[in-house]
């Protein structure tokens, strides 16, 4: 998978350094993955939540943070749409962000 854009993750872990290890590990796995369907993601990340319009919510660092991505399975591209705390996550429309 091709991850767009890793810089958003880096910006986030500058503000939340405790998330750096988990986000780096997630990004590395994504870049080596070949997801074709949401089921491919669920088989690796049991707590991942497909939410519609090819968006998936990941729990980061033991569910301390939320990461929302939009996946284009046909082109193997993952777009980071949101990374934040649970409080910030509660204020977004996950299907439209």
pLDDT tens profile 17-31: 999 999 999 999 999
SS3 label, residue 64: coil
Q: Please return the burial class of 11, using the count of CB atoms within 10 Å of its CB with bins 0-12, 13-18 and 19+.
A: exposed
pTM: 0.92
Report the percentage of the chain scoring pLDDT > 70: 100
Computed over every residue of the chain, the mean pLDDT equals 93
């Amino acid at each position: 998978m091709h991850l767009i854009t890793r810089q958003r993750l880096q910006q986030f872990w500058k503000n939340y350094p405790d998330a750096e290890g988990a986000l780096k590990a997630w990004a590395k796995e994504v870049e080596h993955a070949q997801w074709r369907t949401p089921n491919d993601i669920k088989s690796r990340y049991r707590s991942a939540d497909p939410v519609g319009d090819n968006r998936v919510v990941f729990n980061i660092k033991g569910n301390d943070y939320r990461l929302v991505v939009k996946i284009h399975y046909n082109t193997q591209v993952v777009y980071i749409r949101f990374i934040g705390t649970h409080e910030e996550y509660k204020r977004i429309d996950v299907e439209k962000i």
